[in-house]
Amino acid sequence: MSHDTNDDDFLTILYHALRAQRRRRAIRLLHHTDSSKLSVRILAREIAAAEHGIPIRHATGEPYRNVYNALCQSHLPTLADASIVIYDSKRQTVAEGPNHPLAVFLVEISRPAVETLQATESADKDGPW
């Protein structure tokens, strides 16, 4: 297998991991914490609160359970497969993995790039013609 194929495989895994909004939120939350590990419970509450536009203390019940289950069953294993996080399913904790800094970089540069492209596209539609 050539080096280029390895790079393509790596990028495919990385971009797949970054595809879901919940995964990107988990990456950002982990990046902005002062702790070396976060519990899945804290991640689920933070994400549920953000998704529903409610204070963290109100992120309970069904919204919280849905996010918690999705994190445990899908999102965190996917991030762990890409070495973005280290997910301990027994202790229900998440820590930064070796590819976490790269994932943070890609997530952070994507936001302004998308906003710029959307603004340019909107300006083109509102042009003088």
CATH assignment at residue 73:
1.10.10
Number of other CB atoms surrounding residue 26 within 10 Å: 27
Residue showing tokens 């495989």: 9
Number of structural domains the chain divides into: 1
pTM for the structure as a whole:
0.82
Collapsing DSSP states into helix, strand and coil, what is residue 54? coil
**Nearest C-alpha neighbor of 28 from the set 116, 111, 113:** 111
10 vs 47, more confident = 47
The pLDDT of 3-28, averaged and rounded, is 87
**Structural domain that includes position 103:** 3-125
